[in-house]
């Protein structure tokens, strides 16, 4: 299996508090990795470092050449006036798809996500459907690796069960930060615990 991303000796502090120190992590093709730890341990910060949204104080991150990586944040940032198809189409175009290809792919993605009305505005969706749309938008560029930050937060049971099935069948590698141990037990193949006591 090929290595998609590798981190060696990562350290990060905030406001004189050490979040983690000398952390090593490797993510390979087909990875299903869950990250757990107490609040304030730096789980979200680690994802941001892996996604190049933040830098570490020490250590290094190596990525496979031309790695396509997507990051799904806890609270989806969606344009409330754009409908489902428009949101997906714009995401596809940002990933380099032509307008015509993005149109076709957005329709396929809306169906895959289970949207019965793809013309519904994002601002009118429930929390669970907004999360689905955010996930779909992140997948429009066919990423090799997706990072999810607390994807089950504020989801109802139906949405959690959908997400479990979606991740189990995913064609991409993924890393999930979650406090939901049952969810991770049902989806992840490996668990990394970040805890200052270690």
pLDDT in tens, 12-63: 998 888 898 899 999 999 999 999 998 888 999 999 999 999 999 999 999 9
Amino acid 153: pLDDT: 86
Residue 198 clears pLDDT 60, i.e. is over it: no
Phi, psi (rounded to 5 degrees) for 170: -60, 135
Residue 197 clears pLDDT 70, i.e. is over it: no
pLDDT band for position 75 (50/70/90)? confident
pLDDT in tens, 4-26: 999 999 999 988 888 988 999 99
Average of per-residue pLDDT across 143-151: 95
Amino acid 105: pLDDT: 97
pLDDT band for position 154 (50/70/90)? confident
Percent of the chain with pLDDT over 70: 98
Please give the mean pLDDT across all residues of the chain. Answer: 93
Amino acid 196: pLDDT: 63
Average of per-residue pLDDT across 171-197: 91
Tell me, yes or no, if the pTM score tops 0.85. yes
Cα–Cα dist 194/23, whole Å: 9
């Amino acid at each position: 299996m090929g290595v998609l991303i590798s981190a060696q000796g990562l350290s990060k502090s905030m406001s004189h508090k050490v979040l983690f120190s000398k952390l090593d992590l490797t993510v390979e093709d087909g990875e299903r990795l869950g990250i757990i730890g107490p609040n304030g341990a730096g789980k979200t910060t680690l994802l941001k470092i892996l996604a190049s949204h933040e830098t570490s104080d020490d250590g290094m991150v190596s990525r496979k050449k031309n790695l396509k990586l997507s990051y799904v944040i806890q609270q989806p940032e969606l344009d409330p006036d754009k409908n489902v198809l428009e949101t997906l189409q714009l995401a596809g175009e940002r990933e380099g798809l032509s307008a015509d290809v993005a149109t076709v792919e957005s329709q396929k993605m809306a169906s895959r996500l289970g949207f019965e009305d793809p013309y519904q505005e994002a601002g009118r969706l429930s929390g669970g459907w907004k999360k689905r749309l955010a996930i779909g938008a992140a997948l429009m560029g066919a990423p090799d690796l997706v990072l999810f930050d607390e994807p089950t937060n504020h989801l109802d049971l139906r949405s959690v069960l959908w997400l479990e099935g979606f991740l189990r069948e995913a064609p991409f590698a993924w890393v999930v930060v979650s406090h939901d141990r049952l969810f991770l037990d049902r989806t992840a193949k490996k668990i990394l615990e970040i805890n200052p006591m270690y």
